[in-house]
Chain A
């Protein structure tokens, strides 16, 4: 809703809409995510959070809307170009490459930033070997970074739930994203795991990666996010700092019903 080229804005989404049959899942949703922030997207079930997420990551085509990523027009049309453009995501129900090792999972994340093709692989050229070593080294670094460096040789499906979440984040980070989009990363986590997750996300922000976070856990969102947008029935009902949002009558109503809203 502000100017296109504000330099500190990483992702600008304007008036994006999407209808599924009779359901208006997104209704002219706009959002402006500043660089270096953890940006929260909350709302009750069915508010359109995941649809929004799928729109900006190319899984769902929007009916309308314009997108600017890092100062350049961004068309989230083909899913595989989204990662190249600089948006990496995780999934609400973890989607790892289950039979591959943890290290290999992260190595797949490097795909989009590397080049070797079939011929280079078969001939095992010097460049391909060097790239392979670089991929492996970087993948191991990322495993260490998220705190599962010792588990690289295990198959992804054998990892614990919390470690699988971490692995998914490491895999997303391997694409060198400008924006890391996390779909309910704390879902199903216990208290300790949530604290660790929070520490990890703060660290990622500290290292200069902007984060878009969909989350149900209001406490986590309020404590962690710099800005928050609240969706309800496909519409933005509030946008602002967590403290403001938390007190907003419309937000409270959306979550708890009219009776709880202050007059």
Chain B
């Protein structure tokens, strides 16, 4: 067998070659340093930029989760933001005075108020979101393509409308006013809503959240890449490629699809609970259909099913609108001396135009999975060609 040189970051487990391993180490170190320094640099520009970066990390988590459902298993989901909402509201209810204010019995049980710590709230948010994921998955098992998209879209709207209206007869969600006074993240003695002095550096609250979110996003990426290169990941892709053939290969399509919905929703749940803590406030309007569409755009634009592409797409689409927000206004004033087109309108116009242009010239996304020899050569992959 001739040795092939095809290598990529989409490894399939096993032992990579020494050169590839070194390259990977160097990349990891560079990326880590960049991610660590970035918020400090952004801090000079203003707290808004640090917040934008923190949100980018949250969107990376959302995109990675949706990528499991859409990219890996090929199930078009237009209601993904519902799981983000479920995570956010779970955390909001468990770590705010809302429930104790409205339910006297609970106030008696928790005289100090409900303050569930994040090590319990995150798994709960993730678990409940996963439950909702399976709840959505079960009735849509036999649907594909457009039909699946319509049902998931409806599901997303149902969740939002429930959140909007569940303030009567029992005030569970406080309706359109949303839930306020949500606890910030606390790890040990460090409360993320106050700046932290560390080794002569003063880290602001958004910077602290940024580091936490980036760590969670990195963990998400690791989990996703391990899932992708596993027996389960291959089963997802087999279903995406040809469901009938996948069944004939003995794959239990029902279970594997439910796992995709459930695991995908888990990421949404974690991201949502972090969103709740970061904002200190959640309301239904954060979870509109538009948000689902934006997260879907991120993964399609970045490169469906390709983890680095998905991350890239999420960062780009969450940072780009902010860049436009800060540039189109001043730019017009410089060029024309006054604002010609409303900043917000122009921003959305350019944003839309950028999406169209990218899809015209890079239909498989900005950073798609490599086309040929997408995985390492068989010799290398089988552990140095040790085959009988």
Contacts and interface: CB of A to CB of B under 8 A. Distances in A.
Contacts of A163: none
Interface in A175-233: 175
B17 interface: no
B113 to A, nearest CB: 35
B310 interface: no
Interface stretch (B79-87, B288-296, B343-351, B368-376): B368-376
B237 interface: yes
Interface in A100-153: 100-101, 103-104, 107-112, 114, 116-118, 120-122, 124, 128-129, 131-133, 135-137, 140-141, 143-144, 149-150, 152-153
A244 interface: no
Contacts of A84: 250
Nearest to A94: B245
B251 A108 contact: yes
Interface stretch (B100-108, B138-146, B223-231): B223-231
A154 B374 CA distance: 8
B234 interface: yes
Interface in B221-244: 223, 226-227, 229-235, 237-238, 241-242, 244
A42 B231 CA distance: 37
Contacts of A25: none
A40 B376 CA distance: 40
Contacts of A83: 248-250
Contact of A128 (B230, B246, B377): B230
Contacts of B356: none
B168 interface: no
Nearest to B388: A141
A122 B225 CA distance: 9
A171 interface: yes
Contact of A149 (B1, B229, B235): B1
Nearest to B2: A150
Contact of A136 (B249, B263, B381, B388): B381
Determine chain B's interface SS by DSSP, over half rule.
Answer: loop
Contacts, number: 147
Contact of B373 (A135, A144, A154, A175): A154
B48 to A, nearest CB: 35
B241 A80 contact: no
A239 B234 CA distance: 41
B259 interface: yes
A76 to B, nearest CB: 12
A111 B234 contact: yes
B387 A175 contact: no
Interface string B1-23: 11010100000111000000000
Nearest to B252: A80
B387 A140 contact: yes
A63 interface: no
Contact of B4 (A108, A122, A132, A153): A153
Nearest to B369: A99
Interface of B: 1-2, 4, 6, 12-14, 223, 226-227, 229-235, 237-238, 241-242, 244-253, 259, 263, 371-378, 381-383, 387-388
Q: Which 9 A-B pairs have the closest CB atoms?
A: A112-B250, A83-B250, A121-B230, A97-B241, A95-B245, A79-B247, A152-B378, A153-B373, A150-B1
Interface of A: 57, 59, 79-84, 88-89, 91, 95-101, 103-104, 107-112, 114, 116-118, 120-122, 124, 128-129, 131-133, 135-137, 140-141, 143-144, 149-150, 152-155, 158, 171, 175
